[in-house]
Amino acid sequence: MLLDVKDVSLSLKREGKYSKILDQVSFHVNNGETVGIVGESGCGKSMTALSLMRLLPDKAKLDGEIRLEDELISSYSNRKMQKIRGNQASMIFQDPLTSLNPLHTVGKQIEESLLLHTSLSKQERRKRVIKLLNDVGLPRADELIDEYPHQLSGGMRQRIMIAMAMACEPKLLICDEPTTALDVTVQAQILELMNELKERTRMGIIMITHDLGVVAEVCDRVIVMYAGKVVETAPVEELFENPKHPYTKGLMQSIPKLGIRKQMLGSIAGTVPSPENMPAGCRFADRCSQAMDVCKTNVPQMTQVKKNHKTACWLYENKGVKKDAAAGSEQ
Ligand code: SF4
Ligand code: MG
């Protein structure tokens, strides 16, 4: 196992009070596997990623255990985490333009983590940067290395971000909505590149997205998050064919047909509850058409419904046996 996340909770201080943003999040990632984290915005996807990388605001309270290749990195000091970030684990974000420094050449930016984490000579670094640019499918690497971000298209910039993230051959790559800002054709090319890199390097990838089209294209397994909790996890085909949690089903129904990806998630009526107003029982209860009395008062636990398929919903309590006969419209 490459990454093992166990019972991770995160509280952030807001207006003098702590709010729980993540509640006992558990999942794992294997080498050579892409795990998707999906959910509407505000469900804790990005905060999960930032917790893994420990890119958290001051006074954040992080509990639980995070292991990267059996190292308990959640116990590391911030200083020790700096040696992990950009080295064993890297992250790429949605908007490459805000993440790239407009004043530095492409080459200089990619070189930065090589300077930080390796003892390569100047010449060796330049060679490595050119190889990285080739690896991410960018043409005329020996010229590109001396160009500035504004001279490049959005797709090229995202490739630069990937090259930066890949510079030190990370074991784990975390991608937070990496293609959301790109048009559909470029998006497809970037996703193809990520698949290629994964095959070539056997790194593990966490793909954070609210686009189930992206999930279908690159993910092996999926974690569905709702209001700071994991509510379902399954291999990607299983999740698409046999979603169990009413929230996951709602997300599936919001997938636009005919490959048109314009619409994003959000066709489920209502909104995600805020951490300050979390319902006592199931957090989805207010929006769930199948909610029962127990849902309002008791928190459902993750229950195995099939091999490798788990969900936290009172409909499936008792090892996958449905409690509610009225919910029999799907078997
Ligand atoms: Fe709906 Fe109840 Fe399941 Fe929550 S636990 S998703 S309210 S049926
Ligand atoms: Mg986000």
CA angle 201, 156, 151 (to 5 degrees): 145
Asked if residue 292 has pLDDT above 90, the reply is: yes
Residue of higher predicted confidence among 27 and 180: 27
Cα separation of 203 and 181, whole Å? Answer: 24
Tell me, what amino acid is at 267? S
| Multiple choice CATH, 3-88+168-327, 3.40.50.2000, 3.40.50.300, 3.30.565.10, 1.10.3260.10 | 3.40.50.300
Query: What's the Cα-to-Cα distance from 77 to each of 53, 63, 82, 177, rounded to whole Å?
Result: 12, 14, 9, 28
Q: Write out the residues surrounding ion ligand 2, Cβ under 5 A.
A: 46
Query: What's the Cα-to-Cα distance from 244 to each of 32, 55, 214, 278, 325, rounded to whole Å?
Result: 26, 33, 20, 22, 15
Nearest-atom number in ligand 1 for the CA of 316 is: 3
Q: Whose CA is nearest to atom 3 of ligand 1?
A: 313
Overall average pLDDT of the 189-215 stretch = 94
Domain segments of the chain as ranges: 3-88+168-327, 97-167
Tell me the CA–centroid distance for residue 175 and ligand 1, in Å: 30
- For the record, the structure tokens of 330 come out as 């799907």
Tell me the CA–centroid distance for residue 94 and ligand 2, in Å: 9
Cα separation of 116 and 57, whole Å? Answer: 23
What percent of the chain has pLDDT above 90?
A: 79
| pLDDT winner (highest mean) among 86-95, 239-248, 263-272 | 239-248
Residues 282, 228 contacting (CB under 8 angstroms)? no
Closest ligand to residue 299's CA: 1
The CB of 281 under 6 Å from ligand 1? The reply is no
Pocket test for ligand 1, best of 293, 313, 330 (most atoms within 8 A of CB): 313
Asked if residue 216 has pLDDT above 80, the reply is: yes
The CB of 205 under 6 Å from ligand 1? The reply is no
Cα separation of 209 and 206, whole Å? Answer: 10
Q: Whose CA is nearest to atom 8 of ligand 1?
A: 291
Residues 9, 63 contacting (CB under 8 angstroms)? yes
The angle, 0 to 180 degrees and rounded to 10, between the axes of the packed helices 106-117 and 154-166 is 10
Residues 51, 10 contacting (CB under 8 angstroms)? yes
Residues 180, 156 contacting (CB under 8 angstroms)? no
Pocket test for ligand 1, best of 284, 286, 289, 310 (most atoms within 8 A of CB): 284
The CB of 313 under 6 Å from ligand 1? The reply is yes
The CB of 295 under 6 Å from ligand 1? The reply is yes
- CB-based contacts of 127, cutoff 8 Å, min separation 6: none
Residues 324, 282 contacting (CB under 8 angstroms)? no
In the structure, what pLDDT confidence band is assigned to residue 256 with cuts at 50, 70 and 90? low
Tell me the CA–centroid distance for residue 51 and ligand 2, in Å: 13
The CB of 170 under 6 Å from ligand 1? The reply is no
Asked if residue 30 has pLDDT above 60, the reply is: yes
Go through 270-281 and write b for each residue having 16 or more CB atoms within 10 A of its CB, e for each that does not.
eebbebeebeeb
Tell me the CA–centroid distance for residue 1 and ligand 1, in Å: 31
- CB-based contacts of 294, cutoff 8 Å, min separation 6: 281, 314
Question: What digits encode the pLDDT tens for the residues 163-186?
Answer: 999 999 999 999 999 988 888 889
Over its C-alpha atoms, the chain yields an Rg (Å, rounded) of 21
Least confident interval from 3-7, 80-84, 277-281, 314-318: 314-318
Question: What digits encode the pLDDT tens for the residues 37-60?
Answer: 999 989 999 999 999 999 999 889
In sequence order, the β-bridge partners of residue 309 are: 306
Nearest-atom number in ligand 1 for the CA of 324 is: 8
| pLDDT winner (highest mean) among 1-10, 177-186, 272-281 | 1-10
